Amino acid sequence: MAVMVTGGTGFVGLNLVEALLARGEQVVVVAPDAVPAAARSAFAGLPGVMVEVVGDVRDTAGLISTMRAHRVEQLFPFAAITSGAAREARDPATVIEVNLLGLIGQLQAARDAGVRRIVAPASGAVYGESFWDHALLDEETTPCRPTSLYGVTKYAADRSAQRLASLWGLDVVVARIGSLFGPWERDTGLRDLLTPHWALARAALAGQAAVLPADLPDYAWIYSRDAAAGLLHVLDLVDPPTRVFNLCSGRNWGVVMTRWADRLAAAYPAFSWRQSADPAEVTIPLTETRPRGRMDIARLRATGWSPRFDPDAAYADYAAWLGQHGLPG
């Protein structure tokens, strides 16, 4: 039995692949590029087996062939373009083609190849405007009002996965993943919205000064290792009570990002940081500065999963990882 991870060389993908290999799985990584050398080296000592396949998720016939050849029984169809406004204005068709039509093609391939369980990725971006007028966002009652094309495609993929599961008899569970940071984040060219945690780490490794905004809003980050653990938990659920789960930390910790900057300053003496109320001075901009609600994870908690890392534990683990691996290209 094998588990396929498409988009397996991306941020979430690499964390997933690492977690799967750590528990001894055979993992088929499908991506348009090779697994970065730093990740391949780190994964070599894990008990699982990794198979790399360079491919395009829009090639449904190729996916079916790969699934059958490796006897894939579980699928994470995580290939996506995490687009920013500039890309969405320049090339909306490709964003839609990969994020929505690519997901549908992967579901079709899974159907034809007899894949047993599919964990389909959605995003907190599906809630969109509801973040600004809901203190707590749940899967059942909170309206999905995506504002970005990325959010629109992820919501369309979310609903399409549920609909096609009912039409095709697929076992699909949707995970709406919150904003994450941590190990294996890198600039792949397909992820436009890199996190301020990554930007601070890059400045620290380069011995540069960094300037954060004076006001850091509440923001419910989730550490990437917790996200991977939560996705594996969803993969393993027997007769899940629902088919859509929020996957986030369940807490607001945006304002404590300064502790990450402090930890980096202690580890890299050439690095310094400060905050400024002058936008012209800010070198670590935030994609959103307004206070916003947090995603409710009560539904997932009820199945037995809780995040392991609070902010300080996450920052300590990320700093140790950064000292070992740097920032992979």
pLDDT digits (tens, 9 = 90+) for 129-171: 999 999 999 999 999 999 999 999 999 999 999 999 999 999 9
Residues 183, 225: contact at Cβ < 8 Å?
yes
Is residue 259 within a helix (H) or strand (E), and if so which, with residue range? Answer: helix 257-267
What is the average pLDDT score of the chain? 96
Buried b (16+ CB within 10 A) or exposed e, 228-258: bbbbbbbbebeebeeebbbbbbbebbbebbe
CA 4/CA 26 separation, integer angstroms: 9
Both tokens of 106, joined, read 């992967």
Section 86-98 average pLDDT: 96
Section 219-228 average pLDDT: 95
Both tokens of 126, joined, read 């599906």
Q: What is the pLDDT of residue 291?
A: 85
Residues 9, 35: contact at Cβ < 8 Å?
yes
pTM: 0.96
CA 57/CA 80 separation, integer angstroms: 9
Of 98, 290, 73, the C-alpha closest to 170 is 73
Q: Which residue has the tokens 């540069």?
A: 208
Which sign does the torsion angle of CA 263, 265, 268, 269 carry? Answer: negative
Fold of domain 2-181+223-250+297-301: Rossmann fold (3.40.50)
Q: What is the pLDDT of residue 63?
A: 97
Q: What is the pLDDT of residue 227?
A: 98
Residues 317, 260: contact at Cβ < 8 Å?
no
Least confident of 80-84, 134-138, 175-179, 187-191: 187-191
Both tokens of 207, joined, read 């011995």
